[in-house]
Amino acid sequence: MDTRHELRETPVTRRRLFAWLGWGSFASFFLGLAVATARFFFPRVLYEPAKRFVAGKPEDYQVGEVSTRFKKSQRVWMIRTSEGIYALIAICTHLGCTPIWFGDEARFKCPCHGSVFLLNGDNVAGPAPVPLYRAAISLDLNGNLIVDKSLQENRPGKRDQPPFFLPLPGRPAA
Ligand code: FES
């Protein structure tokens, strides 16, 4: 007699059905556990741009320029004056929106609630309670501008000195 044939034809008993369900639940539980453990080792991380970045060379900026070159990627305006250069953080001090530079009015204006800031960062209108912040700025050994957003200052006097202001010899606008 062919026992394999007999086995194939064995009807699914209630006991066997419960055994399958039991083993299925057991397997699902451990599969879920394995997936959760794997996700623990590969967490979902929000990668922000580095706090410190290279902002080119001083000669890349014209005297009187408010450069938006790093506004999108770093939320920083590079501002070159006849005395030097500073990196103004493009984050409104009210609730964090990104202000817009209006060159013809020499003002930064926040589109969210109407705060207005001067070129030096001072808040002059709207609900923003304090001036815009500046990031630390320096030159590396190769003459590159290094902006470090982990160091910030907005107090008049302090913000106008290194490391929040980098003195440079004046250069006539092109
Ligand atoms: S976030 Fe800029 S004024 Fe409110």
DSSP state of 72: H
What is the residue with the minimal CA distance to atom 3 of ligand 1?
113
Summarize the confidence of residues 117-146 as an average pLDDT: 98
Is the bond into 163 cis (omega within 30 degrees of 0)? yes
pTM (2 decimals)? 0.73
DSSP string, 97-154: ---EEETTTTEEE-TTT--EE-TT--EEESS--SPPPEEEEEE-TTS-EEEEEEEEE-
**Cβ(119)–Cβ(79) under 8 Å?**
yes
Q: What is the pLDDT of residues 4-31, one digit of tens each?
A: 555 566 677 878 788 888 888 878 888 8
Q: What is the pLDDT of residues 154-164, one digit of tens each?
A: 999 999 999 99
Q: What is the pLDDT of residues 65-82, one digit of tens each?
A: 999 999 999 999 999 999
What is the residue with the minimal CA distance to atom 4 of ligand 1?
113
CA-97 nearest atom, ligand 1: 1
